[in-house]
Amino acid sequence: MSARVLVVDDILANVRLLEAKLAAEYFEVVTAMNGADALEAVQRTRPDIVLLDVMMPGIDGVEVCRRIKQNPATQHIPVVMVTALDQPEDRVRGLEAGADDFLTKPVNDLALFCRVKGLVRLKMLTDELRARTGVDPLGLATSEPVAEQVSGRIMVLDNRVAPAERIRSHLTPRHEVTLVADPQQTFEAFGAAHAGFDLIIVNLDLEGIDGLRICSQLKSVETTRQTPILILVDPDDHQRLLRALDMGVNDYLIRPIDRQELQARVATQIRRHRYTEQLRLTVRSSMEMAVTDALTGLYNRRYLETQLTQLIEQSIDRGKVLSLLTLDIDFFKSVNDTYGHDAGDRVLQEVAGRIRGSVRSVDLACRTGGEEFVVVLPGADLTIAEKVGERIRRAIAAKPFMLGHGSHLTVTASLGVSSLAAEQDTVDDLLKRADRALYRAKREGRNRVVPAAA
């Protein structure tokens, strides 16, 4: 794995030791000897992760971490605190400052590479999502204590009653904790849950059950793939720990479990999960905006052209029928001229809603511009398409459109219908035939459905 690591420590021997270990694993290493230089290096080199000593003269590691996490340009960079302090409250202090993790001196190679690789993978995912959105929609870290900011829904998978109850007592009442003893219930709970869990805690030492297999299944099932997993392992269980991390487990705790460390790691995982989920939602929203008409919520012309080409090819390859409707609101210009553009927008939105309510979920309803709409009907021949067009026409004409302040307006629409006629048909052929039929409907008196000439 190639990534840039910033190592910060005021003792040169410590810097050189970590630098050598990381370089041997093909990481690019940048170093700093104090807090001020570390903050400058973060801005200058934009590392993928920071290994930060806690005890330094001047600006200590906790303050450096806090400043990194308060800066919107750098707050997504993972920070791992490296400390010689071994008291639980001292270890957790780094996490509560906004750090993503911690390591205790002397640094264990297994812990070092597991933490660094895991956090770098997360950073790469975050960078990809941030690049797609173009914005950072949610601050991941602030100067407030991590453990006091979040609450979430947590599933604890453990078929031993006493350890499971102990975990629950450590996490409640801040979090909603569900204890599950049967692995099959895990997937049932996810399937039945209205909102998913924010974290799954798995005890690898399940009685009669392979904990690693459960982790593998959780990472392979769609409903749980993106949910972070925190495992509980014995101090000497290095082999299973490595395998778990390789399969995508997000974090681990070594027994005996310290309450403060558990709370801090749970809070960190929930925050990361919320952050990446928000980024995913932003990406999805951006993609929807690119193919959706902002006013009506129907698909736009760009999406129509892309999808219609594929639908025509699929229909021809499979010997299936396909039809489309073109629709134009009658005398729409007079609506804008008489009642104003706000009223015209309400009419367009209501027409879109009536179209949507008159077609199937597999049909493709689009606004192509102004008062013009197109509906693609896969699997429908010309006769069926005419009936659908008539259903849409009646839905538009039957009920007045409310314009606000008690005023209303009767609106009608004219429709043209065309169907695939030959294997050589293109998008333009289909649309042109439907448009010619639409013009005929206009000439013949409007508020009617006209099929394309054979």
User: Which position has the token pair 């197109």?
Assistant: 374
Contacts of 51 (CB under 8 A, 6+ apart): 5, 6, 7, 8, 18, 80, 82, 103, 116
Q: Which of 19, 96, 261, 371 is catalytic?
A: 371
Q: How far is Cα 195 from Cα 325, in angstroms, rounded to an integer?
A: 39
End-to-end alpha carbon distance in the chain: 62
Q: How far is Cα 35 from Cα 369, in angstroms, rounded to an integer?
A: 57
DSSP 319-337: T--EEEEEEEETTHHHHHH
Rg over alpha carbons for the chain, rounded to the nearest Å, is 30
Give 202's DSSP letter: E
Q: How far is Cα 231 from Cα 249, in angstroms, rounded to an integer?
A: 7
Active site residue 19: no
Q: Is the dihedral of CA 418, 332, 407, 351 positive or negative?
A: positive
**CA nearest to 418, candidates 447, 446, 439:** 439
Contacts of 345 (CB under 8 A, 6+ apart): 295
Q: Which residues are catalytic?
A: 371
